[in-house]
């Protein structure tokens, strides 16, 4: 198993990677469903804390595989089998999401992680065995050791009191985030910028697709039970505009040219926790807003609206921070997304009209961004490589 070249032409995601991503839909859907239940019952603090913890486990499992595959995907029979074992671990993790969210019981989730970690550790050890460069071999061995040590920590967490678990979980999460920084502190793996950017983009598409699916099912169920089409149509329209705008804004600029070093790529990659978690939360928020509209949720109209507007604003702000600000020129372009995020937050206080208004603001954001981009000199547009920017 030798490293692939970072300068490889036409590097694209493989069918196996796409299959791996699709299996995460189950886990994302489970996390979103539990968040809906918590918010609809007014358990905001517990719901957000549980969602943050569970989504971290989902996102980090995907991260571990994706960055390894970008550097060492040989796509031979052994690699495929080991990846399928990792997929099995993902499905076990997904099965444990409800218990982890509702009761803080991570037993099944940890079992899923053990399956994934055994497979991924064997991949790093295989890569280390094949390395001719001592520096690269050290990186692979550090990754393998870091994965094992962190996994031991998660197993230990299962046996500590609940009061201690509250403090141990974030410490273990920080340890997980530190493994790549430690492993690649003096030598970088050969991850491929274009491939990594595409992998993140595809996973973002899958999460946005799950958001559309969750909102559509919620509208359908509400119609079947209450037949309140007049109240639900504006919600559905506003939700669609938000998701469409989220897609447009995320893919407005090609980010791979910005990923020129570990320092830039790791900050960008870690920041996607917020992008992906907020994108998935938009779908959950739409379900909450629909339940509030038909009287199923025991929360106020403003609280139901906040379930949509807060993650939408967070998504826009984080996309600007990680993506757009590197390509925008001038104060007016730089302010589009931050100002739009604040405007969408302000929509929260309009109650039942919040989601349609937020959708209109999101659509207007895209239109203004596109107009300002078109107004730039053609030479500047060509130099930046931007498309229909927002």
Q: What is the 3-state secondary structure of 100-131?
A: HHHHCCCHHHHHHHHHHHHHHHHHHHHHHHHC
Each residue of 256-304: pLDDT tens digit?
777 778 888 888 999 999 999 999 999 999 989 888 888 888 889 899 9
| 92 in Cβ contact with 115 (< 8 Å) | yes
Q: Which candidate, 123, 156, 363, 351, places its Cα nearest to that of 242?
A: 363
The stretch 145-174 carries a mean pLDDT of: 91
User: At 160, is the secondary structure helix, strand, or coil?
Assistant: coil
CA atoms within 13 A on the CB side of 337: 27
Structural domain boundaries of the chain?
Answer: 15-183, 193-384
What residues have CB less than 8 Å from 263, skipping those under 6 apart?
Answer: none
pLDDT band at 81 (very low <50, low <70, confident <90, very high): very high
- Flag the least confident range among 86-100, 135-149, 229-243: 229-243
The Cα 109–Cα 113 span in angstroms is 6
pLDDT band at 125 (very low <50, low <70, confident <90, very high): very high
The topology (CATH level 3) of 193-384 is: I/LWEQ domain (1.20.1410)
| 109 in Cβ contact with 57 (< 8 Å) | yes
pLDDT band at 217 (very low <50, low <70, confident <90, very high): confident
The Cα 331–Cα 336 span in angstroms is 9
């Amino acid at each position: 198993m030798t490293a692939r070249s970072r300068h490889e032409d036409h590097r694209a995601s493989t069918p196996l990677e796409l299959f791996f991503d699709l299996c995460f839909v189950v886990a994302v859907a489970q996390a979103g469903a539990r968040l809906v239940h918590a918010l609809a019952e007014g358990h905001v603090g517990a719901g957000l804390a549980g969602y943050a913890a569970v989504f971290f486990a989902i996102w980090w499992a995907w991260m571990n595989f994706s960055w390894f595959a970008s550097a060492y995907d040989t796509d031979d029979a052994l690699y495929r089998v080991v990846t399928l074992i990792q997929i099995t671990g993902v499905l076990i993790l997904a099965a444990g999401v409800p218990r982890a969210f509702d009761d803080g019981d991570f037993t099944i989730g940890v079992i899923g992680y053990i399956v994934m970690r055994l497979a991924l550790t064997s991949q790093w050890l295989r890569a280390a065995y094949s390395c001719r460069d001592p520096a690269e071999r050290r990186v692979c061995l550090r990754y393998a050791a870091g994965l094992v040590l962190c996994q031991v920590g998660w197993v230990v967490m299962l046996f500590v009191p609940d009061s201690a678990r509250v403090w141990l979980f974030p410490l273990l999460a920080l340890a997980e985030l530190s493994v790549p920084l430690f492993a690649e502190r003096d030598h970088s793996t050969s991850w491929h910028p274009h491939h990594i950017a595409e992998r993140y983009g595809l996973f973002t598409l899958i999460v946005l697709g799950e958001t559309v699916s969750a909102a559509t099912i919620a509208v359908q169920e509400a119609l079947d039970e209450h037949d309140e089409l007049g109240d639900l149509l504006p919600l559905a329209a506003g939700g669609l505009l938000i998701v469409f705008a989220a897609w447009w804004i995320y893919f407005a600029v090609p980010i791979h040219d910005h990923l020129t070093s570990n320092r830039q790529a790791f900050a960008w990659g870690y920041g996607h926790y917020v992008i992906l978690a907020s994108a998935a939360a938009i779908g959950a928020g739409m379900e909450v807003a629909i339940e509030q509209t038909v009287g199923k949720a025991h929360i106020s109209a403003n609280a139901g609206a906040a379930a949509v507007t807060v993650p939408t604003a967070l998504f826009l702000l984080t996309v600007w921070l990680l993506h757009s600000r590197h390509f925008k020129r001038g104060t007016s372009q730089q302010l589009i997304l931050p100002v739009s995020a604040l405007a969408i937050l302000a929509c929260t206080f309009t109650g039942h009209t919040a989601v349609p208004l937020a959708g209109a603001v999101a659509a207007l954001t895209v239109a203004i961004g596109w107009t300002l981009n078109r107004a730039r000199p053609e030479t500047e547009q060509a130099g930046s490589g931007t498309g229909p920017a927002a």
